[in-house]
Structure 1
Amino acid sequence: MTDTVCYRHPDRPAGVRCQRCDRPICPNCMNSAAVGFQCPECFNQGARSVPRTRTSLGGIQRGGSQQVVTYTILALNVLVFLAARFGNPQILNDLVMVPALAGSEPWRLLTSAFTHVQIFHIFSNLFMLWQLGPPLEQMLGRLRFTILYILSALGGSVAVWILSAPGGATLGASGAVLGLVGALLVISRARGLDVTWIIMYVAVTAFLSFAIPNVSWEGHLGGFVVGAAVAWIYLQLSNHNRRNRQRA
């Protein structure tokens, strides 16, 4: 115990001293540590020096729910769908992917991945996102999962821009979702897991893309290829970091 005053609050008596810097601190400045109490500065400095936990593929492990990005994407898709269906349907005209307009309105490359018209369309896409998103987000971490999803969506839109008719309109999260499928295929193969169901899903999707009119095979292909490529890069980075840690 000490009879001096707190170094941060001269008008308050100090009850203890910081275990790291030995400065007197009042009850308001006391932070519980492994041993005794620490002042705010020492406590914050110690928190910053704690190594950040990495996910299985090298992403940064965050606290709380590991599916926050997946659920946010799900919510955005539902909100846009409801706004267009029960609010102003014209908002879709400003969001869908139209190759002829993509050069002057580049936001369409991304916003189109959050637009749907038919209930079955949004249900099928969001169901797959709900199935694939959480495990991938947990493996990759929030940041890398977000990058994967956005790049997959952009990859699908760019493929539509290059390969489809200039005046056509494309919408839906299918390209981004196929990007998650491609990523899961690459990661699963690298880990020696059974990928039979993934290959079957890709085969069925490819068949339906050509068998059903008005289905964007271009968006599916672009999203799948980009998602697989991003996952491959993540694997290489993870392996590189693992080798560096082993040498250290």
Structure 2
Amino acid sequence: MSVAPGGAGEQGGAEGAVARREELAAALRRLDDRVAAACAAAGRGRDEVGVVVTTKTWPASDVLHLAALGVRDVGEARAQEAGAKREEVLATGGPGTGDLRWHALGRLQRNKAGAVAAWASLVHSCDSERLAAALDRGAGAAGRVLPVLVQVDLDGDEGDEARGGVPVPGLPAVVDAVAAAGSLRLDGVMAVAPRGADPAAAFARLADAAARVRADHPGATVLSAGMSDDLEQAVAAGATLLRVGRAVLGARPPLG
């Protein structure tokens, strides 16, 4: 398999590539042990919880390694970076690359929605009716039905605007807008635990909101919650998808 150059952990050519793959393989094993233990503690089956490896800011070479190691879900937060990285991975090829599912994470601007709608396997961060409309137009233009999660803001009055999300009282309107869109499919909800808050309490609020969404939209079964530091609490609250970066890839390179 050819490996794209220039990534962290790729110093030293072929030797560096082998070392990086071994590093990632060991990290994935540790992560799987953590998730399995969390599922056992919550009385859940391991197959009830999926993992999206968050590859934002990491190079295409790492995605190639992850694909070869059996990872099938990777997540990106910046539309321009994601599009270029995806094209590089697909052009380079290698084991598993054709089976990768690319998740759109992070706050999404409406002017980027059309591009993201063309490639995303799942958008985690729809947080307004206007964004839902933009994603619907983009998916329609691409001739596909786009799976979407509505992002819930768990910060309340201290909401973090940079991270996005719709406050719980406004959730039904955005959920209904996604469900009614002709080229979107409402798959569930997503949230990030507030900084400095008890993640268990935050994810309990999310689980309650998700249950209310499912009461009206039974197909909205995906609950995307939990990252490297709080995945155990997310699994206990019913998360079906975890978004994990640092626990697999290490400390993130600086944003460019």
Question: Which structure's residues are more often strand, by fraction?
Answer: 2
Question: Which structure's residues are more often helix, by fraction?
Answer: 1
The two structures have a TM-score, normalised by structure 1, of 0.27
- The structure whose Rg is larger is 1
